[in-house]
Structure 1
């Protein structure tokens, strides 16, 4: 019951207050450590860059592990309070909704600006339909990265699992690019993120099944472009019946997405979140998972 209480309090915090200030947000700390080490390393070639990038990733992961163990060193009730805070920092339900909801506008430039805040691609050349697609894709992908996966690893390994996952996901978001600067420096981070997301990405697809049935499975059979990230996007495309496309990378069939489809995607998002929260609550309540106590 103690772990369940921590989870429910963290969930309540997220719904009521959203994200902590950047100054005291552990995920921001992960990014700043990675950015500092990245900026200090002058690229020297494939092998040195790979080793330096691997060391960078391991240092950030080690920091996340140490951070997650601090509550166990504190007296009651500080240990529970800090565990609630750190667990909440590992997932982001409310803020993801808020960021995507800002893209629901008839003003194309406002939409472009809002979309640029949640996707890595250049939004300047995108038309309205592709901007809508980018918003829905980001929602679907981040449903896995920011909700399903961190709580999946919390179930398995407690707070260390949740924070280490978020550290790796942050590393991938910052360093996991296939370009000259990060091809080797970010390779370890990218591959580690692939490994950690393999099961959660497919679990996310299963959570879509009550809302899209066999169509979800048919769309996911088309998701052969990426190891993990295209699976939740394919599932969302199936449920909404709209095409979702990252030009030159993937495209899932359907009609062109509009503003109303972003609203529908947000409703589907909340249905999946409630479904997953219910699963996590039942598993914690019954004690059938090896989640660590504070």
Structure 2
């Protein structure tokens, strides 16, 4: 029962206050720790780089586990408040919506600026439709990464599960690239993130199903471009009826996405998030 209360309070915290200050945000700590290790490790050869990256990643995961155990060593009141704070830091409902909402700009250069803040691709040459697509894709993918997955691991493993997932997802965002610097150093983090997101990404699709069952299933069957990230994107494309494309990587068919479709995507997002929060609360409440 206490887990349900912790989750409810964490969600209310997120919706009313948003993200904690950067200085005391655990996700920022995870990022800074792996950033420090990445910056100061001098590359040698593939095997040694892989080992160094694995050990660095495990150190960040261990840090997340230590953070998750802190409440049990504190006096009663802090031990009740800290789990709410730590759980809230593992997901970002309001912040994700706000970042995507910021991309809804009539001025294309202004839109390009805000889209660049939420995607890793180069947006300098993207036209309006591809900017809209990028914003919607980011929203769909992060519905899993920033909301569903951390709460799923909270359901399964409590606070340690949520924080470890957030640490791994942060590792992947920081070093999980196939560039020359991170090809081997970030390989373990990238593969671990793939493994942890395999089930959540598919559960995310299930939450889209009630909005257009036949089309979501059709798009889902075609989502074979990536291990996980294209699954929620396929579902969002199906519900909105628009094409979503990362050039050279994937494309889901539909009509051209507009600024209004970004607004519609946000409405879909809130429905899916509401479904998931309600599901979590029901599963955490005894006797329901």
- State the TM-score, normalized to the length of structure 2: 0.99
SS in 2 for 1:77: helix
> Match of 1:70?
70
Q: CA deviation at 1:119?
A: 0.2
> Match of 2:6?
6
> Match of 1:281?
281
> Match of 1:33?
33
- Whole-Å separation in 1 of the counterparts to 2:217 and 2:181: 37
- Whole-Å separation in 1 of the counterparts to 2:210 and 2:76: 41
Q: CA deviation at 1:73?
A: 1.2
Instruction: Write the deviation string for residues 243-280 of structure 1: whole angstroms up to 9, x where unpaired.
Output: 00000000000011000000000000000000000000
> Match of 1:168?
168
> Match of 1:292?
none
- Whole-Å separation in 2 of the counterparts to 1:46 and 1:258: 44
1:264 aligns with 2:281: no
SS in 2 for 1:130: helix
Q: CA deviation at 1:286?
A: 2.6
- Whole-Å separation in 1 of the counterparts to 2:122 and 2:219: 26
Q: CA deviation at 1:287?
A: 6.7
> Match of 2:113?
113
When residues 50 and 69 of structure 1 are mapped into structure 2, their CA distance, relative to the original with a 3 A threshold, is same
SS in 2 for 1:251: strand
- Whole-Å separation in 1 of the counterparts to 2:241 and 2:74: 50
SS in 2 for 1:286: coil
> Match of 2:233?
233
- Whole-Å separation in 2 of the counterparts to 1:212 and 1:270: 16
SS in 2 for 1:122: coil
When the two chains are superposed, the root-mean-square deviation of aligned CA atoms in Å is 0.8
> Match of 1:42?
42
- Whole-Å separation in 2 of the counterparts to 1:160 and 1:219: 34
SS in 2 for 1:236: helix
Q: CA deviation at 1:15?
A: 0.2
1:184 aligns with 2:190: no
- Number of residue pairs matched by the alignment: 288
- Whole-Å separation in 1 of the counterparts to 2:12 and 2:228: 29
